[in-house]
Structure 1
Amino acid sequence: MPDALPEPAALLRGAGLRVTDSRVAVLGALAVRPHASADAVYADVAPALPRANKQSVYNALSDFADAGLVRRIEPAGQPMLFELRVDDNHHHLICTQCGAVQDVDCAVGQAPCLHPSNDHGFRVDTAEVTYWGVCGACAAAVPAA
């Protein structure tokens, strides 16, 4: 996640997007809750914006992803997640028990981080790696055998 979110209105305008209260609220929610689902973002913005609805949150997130302001993460068997950390090619750790998600910097070298054993003629721009396992909290909760 970025150290500090730039001024939301400037961020939106810089991406060619219209500034609305809903969009500013969605950016704010993502700033405090990285790896959030659209439903979680909606739950965060709804109390402050009673006229907001889930569709407007979904639309904002889709617009942000298309403009490169957010990154979509699509873990198998889980809802799509969104994050503001878009300036690098990092990866993710996902707990198979509780669904916790953590960022992991590149596994090896510079972006695209991993070099395929055979690129089949592709010019690789990014690599997306998801590590699946049990987080420390879930592992500690399981009694020793």
Structure 2
Amino acid sequence: MTSPQPPTTAEELRGAGLRVTAARVALLQTVREGDHLGVEAIAAGVRDRVGHISLQAVYEALHALASAGLVRRLEPPGSPALYEGRVGDNHHHLVCRSCGAVVDVDCAVGHAPCLTASDDRGFSIDEAEVIYWGLCPDCSSTAPSSASSAL
């Protein structure tokens, strides 16, 4: 018995109620093959696959894909929006304060939403977004020690 084939990108778009276009297919593939990409990098990847596409069209397609749950928009404070293809698992992120590198980290503990609010104020919480801030290994090795920088 053969295992079922995963859906094609076009089938995923249709399944999410979105019109299938070459640009949307290329955009979704670019995001999934990338690593926390900004809009400019995504636009460049789409252009490499299908030719010209305007930044406005990229923004509109990203909005539609994020609304449909096919991509995730990440907005670290003070940084432009980033997009990733890892969706549906409520994972979190590590962000380097120095170079801006973003890395996935699995859920803190337990089942989604991973964290329990001390007071949910009547909300039915289904997701927790956590960003851990610090220095990546490369920046940690070149940064002055915190003791000397505090002086």
TM (normalized to structure 1)?
A: 0.89
Query: Any unmatched runs of 5+ in structure 2?
Result: 1-5
> Residues 46 and 53 of structure 1 are in contact (CA less than 8 Å); yes or no, is this contact kept in structure 2?
no
Q: Which amino acid aligns with 1:94?
A: V
Q: Structure 1: how far apart are the matches of 2:142 and 2:46?
A: 32
Q: Which amino acid aligns with 1:66?
A: S
Match of 1:112 in 2: 113
Match of 1:38 in 2: 39
Match of 1:86 in 2: 87
Deviation for aligned residue 1:143? 6.0
Larger Rg: 2
Q: Structure 2: how far apart are the matches of 1:137 and 1:43?
A: 27
Match of 1:25 in 2: 26
Pair 1:120–1:62, CA change in 2 (3 A): same
Percent of paired sites with the same residue: 53
Q: Which amino acid aligns with 2:11?
A: A
> Residues 99 and 139 of structure 2 are in contact (CA less than 8 Å); yes or no, is this contact kept in structure 1?
yes
* Partner SS, residue 76 of structure 2: coil
Match of 2:3 in 1: none
Query: Any unmatched runs of 5+ in structure 1?
Result: none
Q: Structure 2: how far apart are the matches of 1:85 and 1:15?
A: 16
Q: Structure 2: how far apart are the matches of 1:73 and 1:143?
A: 29
Q: Structure 2: how far apart are the matches of 1:37 and 1:50?
A: 19
> Residues 32 and 86 of structure 2 are in contact (CA less than 8 Å); yes or no, is this contact kept in structure 1?
no
Describe how 1:69-80 pairs up with structure 2 within 5 A. 69-80=70-81
Match of 1:139 in 2: 140
How many residue pairs were aligned? 141
Deviation for aligned residue 1:49? 2.5
